[in-house]
Chain A
Amino acid sequence: MSTQHAPAGLEPGSFRDPESRVFYAGDDVFRALSPDGLSDFEALEATGLLDGERVVPTERADGSANVAGFLVHEPAAILRHERIPFVSYPYEWTFSMLKDAALLQLDLLLAALEHDMVLKDSTPYNVQFKGAHPTFVDVGSFERLREGEPWVGYRQFCMLYLYPLLLQSAKDVPFQPWLRGSIDGIRPSEIRPLMNFRDRFRKGVFTNVILHAKLEARYADKPQQVKDEVKRVFKKELFVANVRKMRKLVQRLDWNPPQGVWTAYGERNSYTDDDARRKDEFVREVAKSREWKLVWDIGANNGRYSRIAAEGAKTVIAVDADQGPVELLYRDLREEGNEQILPLTMNLADPSPGLGWRGLERKSMPDRGKPDLVLALALVHHVAISANVPVKEFIDWLASLGSALVIEFPTREDPMVKKLLAPKRDGLHPDYELDYFERTLKEAFEVERSERLESGTRVLYFARPKR
């Protein structure tokens, strides 16, 4: 008999598809399947699509948990999935990450179609990144193709993949706030007014935006007639042709960070060579002092310290508010085949909240897995001065994560701090002082080591939480 894990916890973000539901037991990720869901899974197994690197490793685990009541129909099977080290969302990805997820989605759909199967939806929330490697996690999305069925996920693909990519590629408007603002993405009627006369001639815009929005308005109140007509004329060849066309279109979409970002990516400002070397060593020593499971490098910029941290850690999350350097970091990591460092873009002063139904479908970062080490290098002055977060508030937040900390404090004499303070009224930010910072840090943390860098304007600390 197999072991029973109890109690099993349902994933609050997995309820839209009635045929399958994700739940957790212990450290494992499971999926309960309905009888129909099981038939689809068996068909999927026979295609060999599960054997590659594109879909999350999955095995049958029937009887390993009590799943009664998880689905409307009595569950017929249980699957176990390999756990993704850290869950991330499309509104934390850079342009190329969303594009790669879109291409993975389309490639899997084309491969499935060869076996008379389809993906029943097209949401980027079904893709997760292991480092820079996109993995499709919703095995329950594969189903057998029904005759006369169009690409059901086409509209969702437009709303959550194509339009966000188009917005950034054609308009240079970051898509992340739009995806964070709406869990279903951008509607055809919403992207339509953003396209000007010239944009109509961009590849794919006329069909997928202008015509799409027009047809949606015209046929909104005739769902039954449309369904019957579509079933009469729709052929698998049309389906395949449409998906191929979409793949070509997505492949052509492009976005590049501004020139300044490229220049800054290779070097880091306001450090003498000796400072950089000593800072590297400080971080390396901490990284190698033990086996860290999850490191958050907040304010990661070009990922220099994420890479050093990765020398002694299993998984590193490299977060920065600026999409530019994160995009370049992702491209490099992708090139290297790195599955250890996950680059994300997010503003720490306005972090990802809980979203969706009950505010639980998408979680805040700490709710997705607390780190055991945080790197906050060249960051506190941005948070305290640019975002006006009191120094004590910032330290308290770091302490609430319960993790060890490497933090760098640039003093008021530091050129970067001077630059941030320059536009502000004299006497503002009285809490931004080395003495006050140290006192506050020592209230919440046990400081194990500190080092003043050669230039004298930057101090590094390694601290452990008191609680």
Chain B
Amino acid sequence: MTTVLAYLDPGSGSMILQIIAGGVAAVAVTAKLYWNRLLKFLHIKKDEPETPEADQARSTDAA
């Protein structure tokens, strides 16, 4: 595995924040995905391809 090397100090708190802020975004994307599925199930909304972004955001496991 490569290490995180950067000439710039990313800041520990700043990195944690990105996970929290990004985590909120991931939850939002997942929620939207299920909402769309529900609408489709109820035949309120027509079929459209799922965004790959939403699929990836659901898996939170480490690489």
Binding site for B on A (CB under 8 A): 16-19, 120-121, 146-156, 158, 188, 207-208, 211-220, 222-223, 226-227, 230-235, 237-242, 245
Given contacts A207-B21, A241-B22, A245-B25, contact A154 B13 (CB under 8 A): no
Judge if B42 is at the interface, Cβ distance under 8 Å: no
Given A16-B7, A237-B57, A239-B22, verify A146-B2 contact (CB < 8 Å): yes
Chain A: which residue is nearest B18 at the CB level?
A150
- Is B44 in contact with chain A by the CB < 8 A criterion? no
- Whether the pair B12, A222 counts as a contact (CB closer than 8 A) is yes
The complex places the Cα of A163 from the Cα of B41 at a distance, in Å, of 45
Question: Is the beta-carbon distance between A149 and B4 smaller than 8 angstroms?
Answer: yes
Contact with A along B6-26 (1 / 0, CB 8 A): 111111111111111111011
Instruction: Given A146-B4, A233-B60, A235-B56, verify A152-B10 contact (CB < 8 Å).
Output: yes
Closest to A240 in B: B53
- Minimum C-beta distance from B61 to chain A (A): 8
Contact of B8 with A226 in the complex, beta carbons under 8 Å: no
Q: How far is the CA of A233 from the CA of B62 in the complex (A)?
A: 5
Contact A152 B6 (CB under 8 A): yes
CB atoms of A216 and B11 under 8 A apart: yes
The A/B interface has a contact count, at CB < 8 Å, of 127
- List 19 extra interface pairs beyond A220-B12, A238-B22, CB under 8 A: A16-B8, A148-B1, A150-B19, A153-B10, A154-B10, A155-B11, A207-B20, A215-B12, A226-B16, A227-B4, A230-B4, A231-B1, A233-B19, A235-B60, A235-B63, A241-B22, A241-B29, A242-B18, A245-B21
* Distance, CA A208 to CA B60, complexed state (A): 23
Known: A18-B7, A230-B19, A233-B62. A154 touches B25 (CB 8 A): no
Residues of B within 8 A of A218 (CB): 13
The residue of chain B having its C-beta at the shortest distance from the C-beta of A122 within the complex is B8
Q: A120-B7, A230-B19, A231-B4 are in contact. Are A237 and B56 (CB under 8 A)?
A: yes
Q: Which residues of B contact A (CB under 8 A)?
A: 1-2, 4-23, 25-26, 29, 53, 56-57, 60, 62-63
Contact partners of A156 in chain B: CB under 8 A: 8
- Report chain A residues within 8 Å CB of B6: 120, 149, 152
What A residues does B53 contact at CB under 8 A?
A: 237, 240
Distance of A230 Cα from B21 Cα, bound (Å): 13
A19 — nearest CB in chain B belongs to which residue?
Answer: B7
The answer to whether B12 touches A152 (Cβ under 8 A) is no
CA distance A231 to B60 in the complex (A): 12
Taking the closest CB of chain B, its distance from the CB of A119, in whole angstroms, is: 10
Residues of B within 8 A of A154 (CB): 10-11, 14, 17-18
Report the 4 A-B pairs with minimum CB-CB distance, sorted nearest first: A216-B13, A238-B22, A215-B13, A241-B25
Interface centre among A17, A232, A233 (most CB of B within 10 A): A233
Are A216 and B12 touching (Cβ within 8 A)? yes
Q: Do A216 and B22 have beta carbons less than 8 Å apart?
A: no
* Residues in A neighbouring B10, C-beta threshold 8 A: 150-155
Given A153-B8, A237-B53, A241-B22: A219 and B2 interface contact (C-beta under 8 Å): no
B23 to chain A, nearest CB (A): 8
A234 touches B14 (CB 8 A): no
Report A182 CB to chain B, min CB distance, Å: 16
A84 to chain B, nearest CB (A): 23
Q: Is B1 touching A147 in the complex (CB atoms < 8 A)?
A: yes
Are B18 and A151 neighbours in the complex by a CB distance under 8 Å?
yes
Shortest A113–chain B CB gap in Å is 12
Min CB distance, B56 to chain A, in Å?
A: 5
Say whether A215 contacts B16, CB under 8 Å: yes
Return A156 CB to nearest CB of chain B, in Å: 6
Contacts of A16 in B (CB 8 A): 7-8
Contact A242 B16 (CB under 8 A): no
Tell whether, in the assembled complex, residue A238 and residue B18 are in contact, meaning their CB atoms are under 8 Å apart: yes
Chain A neighbourhood of B15, CB < 8 A: 150, 226-227, 230
Q: Are A211 and B20 in contact (CB under 8 A)?
A: yes
User: Residue B26 contacts which of A227, A230, A237 (CB distance < 8 angstroms)?
Assistant: A237
Give the residue of A121, A149, A207, A220 whose beta carbon is less than 8 angstroms from that of B13.
A220
What are 15 pairs between A and B in contact, CB < 8 Å? A16-B8, A19-B7, A146-B5, A148-B4, A150-B19, A154-B11, A154-B17, A214-B13, A218-B13, A222-B12, A232-B62, A237-B53, A241-B25, A241-B26, A242-B21
